[in-house]
């Protein structure tokens, strides 16, 4: 499995890199225009000092002004849509609610660390885990829609991770910011829509990612529409080699 994982990731990196470096061919030497130069020595003695300074100046100017500037790299602006499921299988002791106030009701500053399993949108691949923290910002006893500030990451094995930050509201869909990432997600930015299917067990995310090369196909499968009945495939749940990304985070 390790060899196939390495080959798969290396193939993706080569394809991504080759897209940024188009091939070119130098013209044959004979086709490069040349000119013959004749140097007059009649006034060399009288102008040797001034010509020396002048030639140095011209050489310096030629070096700095004739040197072609490197092409500036532009970040890809294409929006890539990627969907994933976060599922709490109640085997990680998550979430935990830590009260920092002596009040009986939920209060500002209460903490909710969490970690759940992560599956591809088509529920055929185990991707990794979520890991993060929610901080209570506003308690709403009338509606039950407590508002949190969420700061967390999603880990995708050898593919890297994505960092997320923004509002998390109980019993309500929200839009959060994608603040960065590593691996194939290095330089990423964008937004993610969080849909709560069944709190606190199932969540569906739709990412709108920019600033990165095309993502690997195994992360981009056609998503299963989110419902309370959705379940990962048996192979993905068991993290079998063909149903998990390379070195998925557990």
Residue 161 located in a structural domain: yes
Residue 184: which CATH number? 2.40.480.10
Residue 155 located in a structural domain: yes
User: For the segment 156-172, what is each residue's pLDDT rounded down to a tens digit?
Assistant: 999 999 999 999 999 99
Q: How far apart are CA 189 and CA 179, in angstroms?
A: 6
Residue 206 located in a structural domain: yes
User: For the segment 56-80, what is each residue's pLDDT rounded down to a tens digit?
Assistant: 555 555 555 555 666 666 778 899 9
- Higher-confidence residue of 2 and 107: namely 107
Q: Is the pLDDT of residue 121 over 90?
A: yes
Residue 92 located in a structural domain: yes
Mean pLDDT of the chain: 84
pLDDT class of 37 with cuts at 50, 70, 90: very low
Q: How far apart are CA 103 and CA 10, in angstroms?
A: 54
For residues 107 and 228, is the Cβ–Cβ distance under 8 A? Answer: no
Q: Is the pLDDT of residue 40 over 70?
A: no
Share of the chain above pLDDT 90, in %: 65
Residue 36 located in a structural domain: no
For residues 184 and 216, is the Cβ–Cβ distance under 8 A? Answer: yes
Instruction: Name the domain count of the chain.
Output: 1
Residue 196 located in a structural domain: yes
- Over residues 179-200, mean pLDDT: 97
For residues 207 and 162, is the Cβ–Cβ distance under 8 A? Answer: yes
Range(s) of the domain holding residue 94: 80-218
Q: Is the pTM of this model over 0.85?
A: no
Residue 30 located in a structural domain: no
First to last CA, the chain: 17
Residue 170 located in a structural domain: yes
């Amino acid at each position: 499995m390790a060899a196939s994982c390495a080959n798969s990731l290396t193939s993706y990196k080569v394809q991504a890199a080759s897209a940024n470096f188009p091939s070119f061919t130098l013209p044959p030497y004979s086709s490069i225009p040349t000119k013959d130069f004749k140097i007059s020595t009649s006034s060399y003695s009288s102008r040797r000092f001034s010509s020396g300074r002048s030639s140095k100046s011209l050489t310096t100017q030629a070096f700095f002004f004739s040197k072609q500037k490197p092409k500036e790299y532009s970040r890809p602006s294409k929006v890539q849509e990627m969907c994933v499921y976060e599922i709490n299988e109640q085997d990680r002791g998550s979430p935990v609610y830590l009260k920092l106030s002596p009040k009986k009701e939920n209060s500002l500053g209460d903490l909710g660390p969490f970690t759940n399993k992560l599956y591809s949108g088509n529920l055929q691949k185990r991707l990794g885990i979520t890991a993060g923290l929610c901080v209570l910002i506003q308690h709403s006893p009338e509606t039950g829609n407590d508002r949190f500030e969420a700061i967390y990451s999603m880990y995708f094995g050898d593919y890297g991770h994505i960092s997320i930050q923004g509002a998390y509201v109980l019993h309500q869909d929200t839009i959060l910011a994608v603040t960065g990432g590593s691996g194939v997600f290095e330089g990423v930015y964008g937004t993610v829509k969080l849909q709560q299917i069944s709190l606190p067990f199932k969540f569906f995310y739709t990412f709108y990612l920019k600033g990165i090369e095309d993502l690997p196909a195994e992360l981009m499968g056609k998503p299963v529409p989110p419902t309370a009945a959705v379940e990962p495939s048996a192979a993905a749940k068991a993290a079998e080699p063909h149903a998990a990304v390379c070195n998925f985070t557990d």
